[in-house]
Structure 1
Amino acid sequence: MSNPLDGVSKGQQMPLQRAVEAISIPFGKPVVLEEDAVVQVMQAMGSSVSVLLEGRLYLIEGYKLDALGLDSLPRPTLHEDATDDEIEAFIWKQLHTCFDPEIPVDIVELGLVYGCRLDTLISGERVVNIRMTLTAPGCGMGEVIAEDARHKILGAPQISKVNIEIVFSPPWSRDMMSEEARLELGMF
């Protein structure tokens, strides 16, 4: 299946075909964008698109792309009998689809994810605990990135909660980026 965002370019104007819940940038809060509003594409990476409307930025997830008149991507999920290894692989795959709305490299390749742990509670519920950082302590995108990751990971029915802790120790540096990320950003 091809990505419907492949044909979308920065600056493109798109009228909303229906009301859609989006994540406000940089606050990370869900808001509803009204039908017929005309948004401007700021970045279309991975499985989501960031758009500008009336001077404010919003993130629209891939499974809601029909609101932009595009084919929606299926919401990421897992089969009911998934093993812990399959659940962990699913979590990392979803983290690879999360982008800082200002940087065209996913948060794993950027080196922002310091750790990810899947815990099973006595009740049998599975909880994901993620430790991550931001490229700078003053970066306002933390809540947006965390909310995007949380929504994507909660697509697995086996996961009941996702805790994301944003830490600044150790501080992020360019050395934490993968070689592919440095190539993409021209930081060699």
Structure 2
Amino acid sequence: MYNDIDEKVIIDRDCEATLIPFGNKITLKKGEEGHITQALGGSYTIMIRGNLVRIEGKDADIIGKIPEIQPWMEQKNTDGRVNEKAVWDAMRTCYDPEIPVNVVDLGLIYSCDISNDEDGGSFIEIKMTLTAPGCGMGDMIASEVKQKVAGVHGTSDVRVELVWDPPWDRSMITESAKLQLGML
């Protein structure tokens, strides 16, 4: 999807989007023009009206895109319980709309505990943080993590908790992400 960067787009229908970095909902109007600044994890960040906005993958059609199929949704364990690799793969499709690195490689996921419930499913409890406590996109990022992990086969319930201890810092970013961000 990297080839979509800076692609000019015209909004095909009215659609709700999220204003970055504040997290407010706005309505994009049919016919408005913008350009893609980030296309990762199935969602799109677009510069439009002088602002960055995030469009959910389910609304990709408004800019002429087809929603991505996520292979992690099909990964199964033979006992029907959640596949831990699939949970981590799902979280790796979640991005801060301003940073082209997933939340796992940014070091935002502090823990992911999986417990089996009596009904044969799995309860997943995730503790994560943000790059800054005042981030207006925090609820949206946590919600995306919850929604994508809930889509993993065998998941019965997901809880995502934003935590601030320990405070996030750049040392938590993986080496590959640092390389991608030009920090090495």
Q: Does 1:154 align with 2:150?
A: yes
CA distance 1:31–1:87, shift in 2 (3 Å): farther
Matched residue, 1:176: 172
Gaps of at least 5 residues in structure 1 are none
Are the aligned partners of 1:95 and 1:149 in contact in 2 as well (CA < 8 Å)?
Answer: yes
Instruction: Name which of structure 1's ranges 130-139 and 72-81 shifts more when overlaid on structure 2.
Output: 72-81
Q: Does 1:61 align with 2:56?
A: yes
Instruction: Name which of structure 1's ranges 71-80 and 30-39 shifts more when overlaid on structure 2.
Output: 30-39
Q: How many angstroms apart in 2 are the aligned matches of 1:169 and 1:60? A: 30
Q: How large is the RMSD of aligned CA atoms in angstroms? A: 3.0
How far did residue 123 of structure 1 move? 4.3
Matched residue, 1:14: 9
Amino acid at match of 2:140: V
How far did residue 174 of structure 1 move? 1.4
Q: How many angstroms apart in 1 are the aligned matches of 2:150 and 2:15? A: 19
Amino acid at match of 1:169: D
Q: Does 1:48 align with 2:43?
A: yes
CA distance 1:80–1:175, shift in 2 (3 Å): closer
Q: How many angstroms apart in 2 are the aligned matches of 1:32 and 1:50? A: 14
Are the aligned partners of 2:80 and 2:121 in contact in 1 as well (CA < 8 Å)?
Answer: no
Runs of 4+ in 1 over 6 A off after TM superposition: 29-32
Q: Does 1:96 align with 2:70?
A: no
Q: What TM-score results when the alignment is normalised by the length of structure 1?
A: 0.78
Among 132, 156, 177, the alignment partner of 1:136 is: 132
Q: How many angstroms apart in 2 are the aligned matches of 1:26 and 1:168? A: 19
Are the aligned partners of 1:26 and 1:143 in contact in 2 as well (CA < 8 Å)?
Answer: no
Paired positions, count: 183
